[in-house]
Structure 1
Amino acid sequence: MKKSWMIIPLLLLAGCTQQNPKKLDVELFNATGDSLGKINLAEQASGVKMSVKLSGLSPGIHAIHIHETGKCKAPDFKSAGNHFNPEKKEHGLLNPKGAHAGDLPNLIVEDDGSVKADIMAPNVTLKNDKKSLFTKKGTSIVITQGKDDGMTQPAGNSGERIACGKISSTKKASKSGQEEKK
C-alpha cells in the first residue's frame, strides 16, 4: 500500500509538466493587420518543417526568416528583432561560415499573391534546447518585400518587413498575434 502512495505524486508531477507541441500553426499578418494565412510548423528528425500557405502578398520572390523575438508590432515589425541566431553565426545560406538558424530559402509568390511551399529549417527545433523556437523572448516569422541574396550582412539585403507572425507554444493566441499600434 505504501508503494502506491509514492507512485501517485510522481504521476501527478508527470502530468503537470508542460511539453512543447510537436506541431503548431503560426498566423501571419501584414502591416494593416490583415491575416495572410498560416504556416504550420512540425518537428522532424532533420529540423522543423514549415508548410507555408499564404495569400495577399505581392507577386515575386520574398525572403522569409525566423526572428529572435516573439513580437510583431506593426507597421514595420522591427519589434521581432534580428534573425534567430543562437550559435552566433553570420547571415546567409550561401555563407561559407554558416548561416543564422533563422535563415531560410526565399519564397516564390505566384501572380495571384499566393504561396504554398514546404521549407525545412534544419537548425531549429520545437524541443527544449539551445536551438528551440520557444525562448523566453519568444520567436517570430517575418517576410520581407525583397529576396534574400544569401550573403549580405546582417539580413541579405531583403528590404522592408511586410508580414509577421508570433511563434507560440500555447494553444490560445491573441487575435492577430501582433501588438496594436500605439
Structure 2
Amino acid sequence: MRHSIPFLIAGTLAAAVPAAAQNLDNGFATAARAEIVDRDGQAIGTVTINRTESGVPLVIVAVTDLPEGSHGIHLHETGDCSAADFTSAGGHIAGDKEHGVFVAGGPHPGDLPNAIVDEPGAINAEIFAGGLDIDEMVFDADGSAFIVHSGADDYLSQPAGDSGDRIACGVFQPA
C-alpha cells in the first residue's frame, strides 16, 4: 500500500530565492543556504531554509544530476560534509522525536518527504518543515546539513528510514 504525504512541487526553481526575498514583505526571508555537492565534489544545486510569517520554515530544494527514483532527503544535525560518504553530517535533526511520520512520537524536525527524481535528474521542491526551529536546530553550535540518500525513506525504520547511502550533501550557512 502506497502512502502519500503532502509535498509541494514547483515547476522550475532556477531562481528559487530572488534577491528581493530578504524580508517578510515577500512572504518569506531566507535564513540559511546550502550549496549541495555530490560524492565527486561537484556542485549540483542549492537548498534554502526560509522564515515565514506563520513561523513554519519553508525549505526550497533545487538540485540536479541525481539518479532517477525516490530519494530520502533530510536535514542533518551536524554542518560537516567532509567525510567521503557524508557520515560526518551525523543523524537527522531529531529534537525529542522519533524518526518517521508512520511512527508514534514522530517525525523528526529534519524528516522531509521523499523526493521523486525523474529522467532529467532534478529535485525542485518547496516543503513546509513544521517543528523545525531554525535558530535552535539549524544554527546550533555545530551547524546542520542537507543530505540526499540513494533510496527512499520508508518513514518508519529507526533511526533514519532505511534510505540508503548518502549521495549528496551541503552545509547550511547564514544567508
Identify the TM-score tier after normalising by the shorter chain.
0.7 to 0.9
Give the C-alpha shift of residue 46 in structure 1.
Answer: 4.4
Question: Are 1:99 and 2:107 matched, yes or no?
Answer: yes
Question: Which residue number corresponds to residue 160 of structure 1?
Answer: 165
Give the C-alpha shift of residue 120 in structure 1.
Answer: 1.3
The counterpart of 1:90, out of the listed 93, 98, 108, is 98
1:109 is matched by which residue type in structure 2?
V
Aligned length: 146
Secondary structure of 1:168's match?
Answer: strand
After TM superposition, what 4+ stretches of structure 1 lie above 4 angstroms from structure 2?
none
- Cα deviation, 1:114-173, whole Å, max 9, x if unaligned, reads 1211111111133x3x4x31000111111100000000001101000001000122x5xx
Question: Are 1:120 and 2:125 matched, yes or no?
Answer: no
Question: Which residue number corresponds to residue 34 of structure 1?
Answer: 42
> Is the 1:43–1:125 contact (alpha carbons within 8 Å) kept by the matching residues of 2?
no
- Cα deviation, 1:76-116, whole Å, max 9, x if unaligned, reads 000000111122x2111221222111111010111111121
- Say which one has the larger Rg: 1
- State percent identity of aligned pairs: 37
Cα distance in 2 for residues equivalent to 1:76 and 1:134: 23
Cα distance in 1 for residues equivalent to 2:95 and 2:125: 26
Secondary structure of 1:105's match?
Answer: coil
Question: Which residue number corresponds to residue 68 of structure 1?
Answer: 77
Question: Are 1:110 and 2:118 matched, yes or no?
Answer: yes
1:168-179, aligned counterparts within 5 Å?
168-169=173-174
2:39 is matched by which residue type in structure 1?
A
Cα distance in 2 for residues equivalent to 1:148 and 1:116: 18
Cα distance in 1 for residues equivalent to 2:162 and 2:81: 20
Give the C-alpha shift of residue 25 in structure 1.
Answer: 2.4
Give the C-alpha shift of residue 74 in structure 1.
Answer: 3.8
Gaps of 5+ in 1: 1-21, 172-182
1:37 is matched by which residue type in structure 2?
G
Cα distance in 1 for residues equivalent to 2:149 and 2:120: 18
Question: Which residue number corresponds to residue 21 of structure 2?
Answer: none
Cα distance in 2 for residues equivalent to 1:163 and 1:157: 16
Gaps of 5+ in 2: 1-28
TM-score (norm 2): 0.78
Question: Once superposed, what is the RMSD of the aligned Cα atoms?
Answer: 1.6
